[in-house]
Structure 1
Amino acid sequence: MGGEPPEPAPPGGAEAAASRGDWAVVALLLALGAFLAHGTATMDVPENSGSPGPRFVPVIVTVLTFVLAALMAAQVARATAGAGVRAPERSAHGEETDWRAVGVVVASFLAFTALLSPLGWLLSAALLFWGTGYALGGRRPLFDAGVALSVSAAFQLAFSAGLGLALPAGVLEGAF
């Protein structure tokens, strides 16, 4: 019956490029986790803050960021080690990663961090949520902005009522 098994594709092809992109995302997650860990460790915490305290949520987010990076690294390593295994950056339909969407999410996050102090949580987080929704395919700007503002307000209420923490008010200071 005869034929020899097909030889694996030479390194450096489309799979290698996909793997490099995946490893870049892992590196970005690790850098984000390190940034969050540093920010959490150097956070000014008032002496009279109660339990669970202002570091509670940042610690959870930091740990989840590192866990996500580890899981993704394991997935990428498994995919690049297996012969003939499709790289994880391809969807079930064979589509490649939408780097434009990734760029919009990253830009939204950077805008959020830059605008948090001047605009406050409510508006800067709404911009972050709207940008992320747009990157994921939302094409009804007014509706999406309303949903983003509602989610931002819900988080603000949860933090203030549930944890007793005041998120930055920014330009809305004293408006309510």
Structure 2
Amino acid sequence: MTTPDTTTTTTGAGPEGTGGRSRRAWLREHSELGVGVLLLALGVLVLTDALTMDVEIAQRGPIGPKTVPVAVGVGLLVVAVLLAVDVLRGGRGEAEGGEDIDLSEPADWRTVLLLAGVFLATAVLIEPVGFPIAGALLFWGSAYALGSRHLDRDPLIAAGLSVVTYEVFNNLLGVPLPGGPLMGVL
């Protein structure tokens, strides 16, 4: 003769009552929602900043200085919502072991510090030397920090990327960037 099970389990739809699991267990299983919340907050911040931007220059054509930040902000909001829906439907990100990373190796702090130094140098140099020079240093320094050792090719590519970026933002999009000593040349 079998006796009925006398243990009680709570059932429900929320974090408190998902099959007897605690709130902490539910949050652990849905930890990707944290990334969604971060993307949502970042999207709201970008959109708020873009829509309250005081643009003093005349807009040339249908694309103005607010276009890119608004598109990025809307994109962040869409990705946040899609990620939240996927996680709540049971989707899970792939574990770290599935990536091409050896988890037993320590972090590559040399690369991290080189990249941080390049970004800091760009922030310091952009006003005095202008975007074309600071941008070229940013592109070349990032390539070097990430392992490229083509010392004859990388500076030329970096200079080309920097000048093209400067021209697109300054002349086509109407977003003024500091030109520095090259202001009259470009």
Q: Of 94, 97, 102, which residue of structure 1 is paired with 2:102?
A: 94
Q: Of Structure 1 and Structure 2, which has the larger fraction of its residues in helix?
A: 1
> Residues 38, 158 of structure 1: CA spacing in aligned structure 2 closer, same or farther, 3 A cutoff?
same
Deviation at 1:47, TM superposition (A): 5.5
Deviation at 1:58, TM superposition (A): 3.5
Q: Of 94, 106, 125, which residue of structure 2 is paired with 1:115?
A: 125
SS class of match (1:159): helix
- Aligned residue type for 2:161: V
Q: Of 47, 50, 63, which residue of structure 2 is paired with 1:52?
A: 63
Deviation at 1:147, TM superposition (A): 0.9
> Residues 164, 174 of structure 1: CA spacing in aligned structure 2 closer, same or farther, 3 A cutoff?
same
Matched positions, count: 146
- 1:38-77 to structure 2, matched below 5 A, reads 40=50, 43-46=53-56, 48-50=58-60, 51-61=62-72
The reply on whether 1:136 has 2:146 as its aligned counterpart is yes
Q: Which one has the largest radius of gyration?
A: 2
> Residues 39, 101 of structure 1: CA spacing in aligned structure 2 closer, same or farther, 3 A cutoff?
farther
CA distance in 1, matches of 2:166, 2:95: 42
Mean Cα deviation higher: 112-121 or 49-58: 49-58
CA distance in 2, matches of 1:98, 1:136: 10
> Residues 46, 114 of structure 1: CA spacing in aligned structure 2 closer, same or farther, 3 A cutoff?
same
CA distance in 1, matches of 2:75, 2:56: 25
The TM-score, its normalising length taken from structure 2, stands at 0.54
CA distance in 2, matches of 1:46, 1:64: 26
Task: Answer yes or no: is the 8 Å Cα contact 2:57–2:174 preserved in 1.
Answer: no
> Residues 119, 101 of structure 1: CA spacing in aligned structure 2 closer, same or farther, 3 A cutoff?
same
Task: Answer yes or no: is the 8 Å Cα contact 2:51–2:70 preserved in 1.
Answer: no
Cα RMSD of the aligned pairs, angstroms, is 4.1
Deviations 1:118-151 (A, max 9, x none): 1111011111111111122111233211111111
Deviation at 1:45, TM superposition (A): 0.9
Look up the match of 1:159. Answer: 169
Mean Cα deviation higher: 114-123 or 51-60: 51-60
Deviations 1:1-59 (A, max 9, x none): xxxxxxxxxxxxxxxxxxxxxx9xxx8x9998898678646644116324321122344
Unaligned 5+ segments in structure 1 are 1-22, 80-84
